Amino acid sequence: MTSTITIKLVFNGGLELLFGNERNQSVLIPSFVPSDNSTHSSPSSSSSTPSSYNDTPSTVETKAADLEYLIYHLRDHLLKERPELFMENGTIRPGILVLINNTDWELEGEGSYQLRDNDEIVFISTLHGG
């Protein structure tokens, strides 16, 4: 079993503006993460260079990396501005469509979906100004 997994990210519908104007990114996260979704021991992510991590201390309760953790990781490490436009009440804000490997996340268990190496997660804003 690998200690990290790579997740491919796509931001569309204007969300890319919150993530440094980069539609396609990649993030490296641990296979097991803190149960409370804290991201303090996660690496800074980059689409070009993977980072190394310190292992999570054994006193911290962990879980398999899931989409809920990824959302917090994105907020804490990749989001450049206006987190309220991405997250609300601990989850993705209404009006953002989330696809896991081209399937609506509601069919995959939403935040409880356990991430696998090379999953593609797409975030599409369906809200438009006028």
The pLDDT score that the predictor gives to residue 51 is 40
Rounded (10°) CA dihedral 72, 77, 83, 85:
-80
Q: How many CA atoms lie within 13 A of 46 on its CB side?
A: 6
One-letter amino acid at 25 equals Q
Ordered domains of the chain (ranges, CATH): 4-125 (3.10.20.30)
Helix (H, G, I), strand (E, B) or coil at 105: helix
The pLDDT score that the predictor gives to residue 48 is 37
Question: Is the model more confident about 15 or about 40?
Answer: 15
pTM: 0.81
Per the structure block, which two tokens stand in for 37?
A: 């979704």
Residue 129 has pLDDT above 60, yes or no: no
pLDDT tens string 42-92? 443 333 334 444 444 457 899 999 999 999 999 999 999 999 999 999 899
